Amino acid sequence: MRTRSIVVGLLLMLVAGLVVGCGIQGAPDFSRAEHTPIPRIPPATLPPEPTPEPGAAEAAAPAGCRVYPADLIGAWVAAGTPKDEPFPFTDLDGQQCQATFEADVLPLFTQSGVWYDGSPPCIACHNANMVGTQSNAGMSLETYEDILAGSYRAAPDAQGNDILGGGNWEQSILYERLVVKKDMPLGRPADSPDKGLEVLAGAPVGEGQ
């Protein structure tokens, strides 16, 4: 009997101790809370998150439609090589998109790194200085007019050989060299991507038009 009441007594003390202990621990401890690294709800004094404007999500997304350079040039040729008018193309996500020559097609001839990592720009070899010579196919790819004037031009005002297949992209000299033979830019590695490196061009139809 005696042992039992001692045990009961000890248990009671233990329980009481726990209750008191928990009571103290459960009380708000502001000094600790201030240093806690747990993410906290921002104080009401912080400026509220700005409400996004309609269309802001699209504006924040990367601008343009994903497409391979050769496919974009092909769409431009198929559309009749418009100079200022937007032309349609389907992007790699299946979206209907629009691009323009100046902003989206010309850079594929004038910029480096379009066809494979570190590829030289076409105009490094095909520029106005070559027109009237037999060097580098006597061709400039610097401007809209140059590209339409073609290769082996006798003079700056002369028309050369059509490199755009008369509007039939897959019959064109340009397609043959860029996609079939894959030997332009000159020195292009055989294992480089068939249609160049993916670029962002134009915009989905209906956006900001």
Beta-carbon contacts of residue 187 (< 8 Å; ≥ 6 apart): 120
Q: How far apart are CA 163 and CA 177, in angstroms?
A: 10
The reply to whether 185 sits near ligand HEC by the rule CB under 6 A is yes
Q: How far apart are CA 59 and CA 137, in angstroms?
A: 42
How is residue 2 written in tokens? 């005696």
Taking CB under 6 A as the criterion, which residues in 45-84 touch ligand HEC? Answer: none
Q: How far apart are CA 48 and CA 17, in angstroms?
A: 46
The reply to whether 199 sits near ligand HEC by the rule CB under 6 A is no
The reply to whether 124 sits near ligand HEC by the rule CB under 6 A is yes
The reply to whether 126 sits near ligand HEC by the rule CB under 6 A is yes
Closest C-alpha to 198, from 76, 93, 59: 93
The region of 14-22, 85-93, 97-105, 181-189 touching ligand HEC under the rule CB under 6 A is: 181-189
Nearer to ligand HEC, 91 or 142 (CB): 142
Query: Which parts of this chain interact with ligand HEC (CB under 6 A)?
Result: 115, 120, 122, 124-126, 136-137, 139, 141, 151, 161, 163, 173-174, 177-178, 184-187
